[in-house]
Structure 1
Amino acid sequence: MERWQNKAAIVTGASSGIGAAVCIDLVKAGMTVAALARREERLNALKDSLPKALRGNLHPIRCDVTQEADVIRAFRWVDEHLGGVHVLINNAGVLREGNMTDANNTEYIRAVIDTNIMGVVYATREAFQTMKTKDVAGHIININSIAGHYVPIIPGFLMSIYPASKHAVTAMTETYR
């Protein structure tokens, strides 16, 4: 991790679970982290959970990855205040139960597609453009799901569009590569 000391990482979906754990580990490893999520109060609690000496290396930024303008604003902040991104962890994701043939299901289907697919598209594009402009040999990591490789059958649970969104992330990762 020496290469990444004092370099900037952006983590989406940072307010809980894998995203929060990744933020903590990156800060402890010496990186400066912009923690992006919708739930700002959870981001602030995450920062407060760090030892005092490390808190200055975690920057909570309210960002809804389904909103392109939010993503652009967050990356601009990182560029202006942290010198640009060196590592992007695309972690934000949602799962909504339902049937893809249900009436009036657009809201939960859009939530999954906009978060799981478009959030990755927006953040990856912004990271790539920043890395290219600044000549940074950085990394973009897409956190995915086993549902991106096969459709799991869970009795009594309708996964709706979720597996399709995760298959899209698998295909996008290969396309980006």
Structure 2
Amino acid sequence: MPAIEGKVALVTGVSSGIGAAIVTELVGQGMLVAGLARRIDRVEALAKSLVGKKGKLLPIKCDVSSQDDVKKAFATAEKTLGPISVLVNNAGVLRAANLIQEGAIDGVQLMMSTNVVGLATCAREGLLTMVKNKTEGTIININSVAGHSVLPFPGIGAYNASKFAVTALTEGLRNEVSAIKANIRVTSLSPGAVESEMSGQFKKEGEESQLSEFEMLPASDIADCVTFILKSPQRMNVSTGKIHLEIVFPKK
């Protein structure tokens, strides 16, 4: 089992939910973590709460839909903490909208620029730094069950589309890594319904939620899966195409 203590990880979208849980887990395992988010005040508060743990969290303000922001964030992380060996692409948004009834396109643009273009930009920067430093690296894209099948909920078709794109991008990135013979693993981790701000938008007080019939996963479960992947031997590549790691909707 490889040791991850002292290694450098960069995690996006860490101001809440899955991202915050992943950072907490990795810092507890002794990793040096660069935590990226737009809401930097939340990341700074999280960093303070983790003081005294084995590792540490470096808060970096970053909007992953901005290529300039991403490039600066990776440069800051590498200069401050050292060569990056782990990238967790977690930043993502969900804006529910019924396109037929509402014709809302702003949310579609936001999801594509964050969930797809932002992820691709971070993957590019992560791959470039890992190849440059000849790092035994791991890239984990936090996907969704929505990236493998169209979920029967009105208004999330565009979110489905963005996550299907993540599935394709992950497979494509793995092919690229293989072609250049880089020692970098690429994983698509696909949770089901997770207790978070994102899922919270479907809950209205006094009303039945679209997710009411499902038992929500705690974000810590996803963080545990990330640790499992990182502690697996470098020769083992957990992927949706080989070892399928998919956290499905558990029934109550």
Report TM bin, short chain.
over 0.9
User: Which aligned pairs between 1:128-167 and structure 2 lie closer than 5 A?
Assistant: 128-154=127-153, 157-167=154-164
- Does the residue aligned with 2:53 lie in a helix, a strand or coil? helix
1:53, distance to aligned residue in structure 2 (A): 1.6
Query: Is 2:40–2:60's contact at 8 Å kept on the other side of the alignment?
Result: yes
Taking the aligned partners of 1:100 and 1:176, their CA distance within structure 2 comes to 31
Which TM-score applies when normalising by structure 1? 0.92
Q: CA deviation at 1:84?
A: 2.1
User: Which residue number in structure 2 is paired with residue 87 of structure 1?
Assistant: 86
> What is the DSSP-based 3-state SS (H/G/I as helix, E as strand, rest coil) of the residue aligned with 1:33?
strand
TM-score, normalised to structure 2, is 0.66
Distance 2:102 2:68 in 1: 30
Q: Deviations over 1:95-145 (max 9, x none)?
A: 001133466633211100011001110100000000011110110000111
CA contact (8 A) 2:130 2:137 kept: yes
Cα distance in 2 for partners of 1:166, 1:57 equals 30
| Structure 1 unmatched ranges of 5 or more | none
Offset at residue 78 of structure 1 (A): 1.1
Matched residue pairs, number?
Answer: 174
Which one is further off, 103-112 or 17-26? 103-112
Does the Cα contact within 8 Å between 1:109 and 1:160 map onto a contact in 2? no
Give the Cα–Cα distance (whole angstroms) in 1 for the partners of residues 41 and 143 of structure 2.
Answer: 25
Q: Residue type matched to 1:142 in 2?
A: N
Question: Secondary structure at the residue paired with 1:115?
Answer: helix
Question: In 1, Cα distance between the equivalents of 2:116 and 2:101?
Answer: 21
- Return the index of the structure with the highest Cα Rg: 2
Structure 2 residue runs of 5 or longer lacking an equivalent are 175-252
Where does residue 45 of structure 1 map in the other structure? 45
Note if contact 2:89-2:119 (Cα within 8 Å) is conserved in structure 1.
yes
Which secondary structure does the structure 1 equivalent of 2:9 belong to? strand
Structure 1 residue runs of 4+, over 3 Å off?
100-104
Tell me how far apart the structure 2 counterparts of residues 56 and 141 of structure 1 sit (CA, whole Å).
Answer: 20
- What is the aligned-residue RMSD (CA, Å)? 1.7
Displacement after TM superposition at 1:173 (Å): 0.7
The answer to whether the aligner puts 1:14 opposite 2:14 as a matched pair is yes
Distance 2:102 2:82 in 1: 47
Structure 1 vs Structure 2: percent identity of aligned residues? Answer: 46
| 1:73 counterpart SS class | helix
The answer as to whether partners of 2:92 and 2:111 remain within 8 angstroms in 1 is yes
Residue in 2 that maps onto 1:58:
57
Q: Who is 2:217 aligned against?
A: none
The answer (yes or no) to whether the contact 1:90–1:141 under 8 Å persists in 2 is yes
